[in-house]
Amino acid sequence: MTNHWIDLKNSDCIMIMGSNAAENHPMSFKYVTQAMDNGAILINVDPRFTRTSAKADLFAQIRPGTDIAFINGLIRYAIENGYYHEAYVRNYTNALCKINEGFDFTDGLFTGYDAASKSYADKSTWQYQKDGDNNVFADDLDDPDCAFQLLRNHVSRYTPEVVSQITGVSESRFLEIAEAYVKGTYQDDKVGTIMYAMGWTQHTTGVQNIRAFSILQLLLGNMGRAGGGVNALRGESNVQGSTDHGLLSHLLPGYLKAPAASDQTLADYLTRVTPANINGDKSVNYWKNTKKFVVSLLKDYYGESATAENDFLFNNLPKTSGDYSHMALFKAMDEGIIKGLICMGQNPAVGGPNAEHERS
């Protein structure tokens, strides 16, 4: 999450999708209530009418799996009506970056798709126009090659009528929500936040759900501000703390990937896990700093004993040799490999992504 729970009280408008915060995350909802006491509007979009819905100023009952169409409709509403924070969009997003002229998006497919292998064999057009090592920027948001215009063209199909047909939400209710959230939070003196949980992430399109939210918040200038952001409430016992502290099988502290048995040296590990800079040294690629992060962690573990000469004692770290994730463990139980389970603070019989298999 980009903000913290206490910060929710600073919001002027709160939209909750994919979450029943009032019932499942009551401590977060405490601060939602404080915001509402200060005049904030609460919007809830959900297939079910929940306790959160009962507290909301505006509720929309959406068809399951149609969230992206709803958010794309809000993005279109913002762009077509000029309800976006232009200074923020110009200075703090990639909206002015000109996209490679060979890139296209037709019938739901990007350029480079290979029908035979059902995969993207050529991603060479998936980048910005370049001038040497530098990205090429448009002078204005009206430039047809800039990212802003590609976004505008893409969401142009999501009119209130189309959104209503796809989601089942009436046009009038959709427009009420659009006015409250989009028109109501793009100004300098207003801010809106979005809250979600596993009702958004446990989809085949879960990543795209979050991307759509992020795009909307960037357009409105709601990122990096008190009372704003895109905020995950999670759905399992202490999943955030487990992740942050490196207690999960696939991560070290700091969200660094766990070493595999094949990583015999630090160099092997870095080659495997560090993403390439597709835009060179100027790439907006946070994880290009993976080496710095890992070395810092190892020095924190082993102090002065961790040196370049001994590979910063990288081989002291445990190496993974299999899949120890949630569903893989239940598969191993089903196959008789794991004979027993001690379960604390969690109910996998109802809380996992394949509860029927977990119960069996």
pLDDT digits (tens, 9 = 90+) for 47-86: 999 999 999 999 999 999 999 999 999 999 999 999 999 9
Same domain, 76 and 22: yes
CA–CA separation, 22 and 29 (whole Å) = 5
Same domain, 212 and 250: no
Note whether 212 and 148 are within 8 A (CB). no
Q: Is residue 280 part of a domain?
A: yes
pTM, to two decimals: 0.81
pLDDT at position 349 is: 85
**281 pLDDT more than 70:** no
pLDDT digits (tens, 9 = 90+) for 27-45: 999 999 999 999 999 999 9
Same domain, 312 and 332: no
**280 pLDDT more than 70:** no
Measured in degrees and rounded to the nearest 5, phi and psi for residue 130 equal -120, 145
Q: How distant, in Å, are the alpha carbons of 70, 205, 307 from that of 67?
A: 5, 10, 50
Same domain, 72 and 35: yes
User: Average pLDDT of 349-358?
Assistant: 82
- What CATH number corresponds to the domain at position 15? 3.40.228.10
Same domain, 84 and 167: yes
**279 pLDDT more than 80:** no
Same domain, 287 and 337: no
Final residue belonging to a domain, choices 196, 211, 235: 235
**107 pLDDT more than 90:** no
Same domain, 86 and 13: yes
Q: How distant, in Å, are the alpha carbons of 90, 95, 98, 105, 156 from that of 138?
A: 10, 9, 6, 20, 21
Final residue belonging to a domain, choices 211, 235, 259: 235
Note whether 191 and 185 are within 8 A (CB). yes
pLDDT digits (tens, 9 = 90+) for 147-191: 999 999 999 999 999 999 999 999 999 999 999 999 999 999 999
CA–CA separation, 299 and 336 (whole Å) = 40
Full domain range(s) for residue 307: 246-316
Number of domains in the chain: 3
Note whether 202 and 210 are within 8 A (CB). no
Q: Which of 48-52, 245-249, 309-313 has the lowest mean pLDDT?
A: 245-249
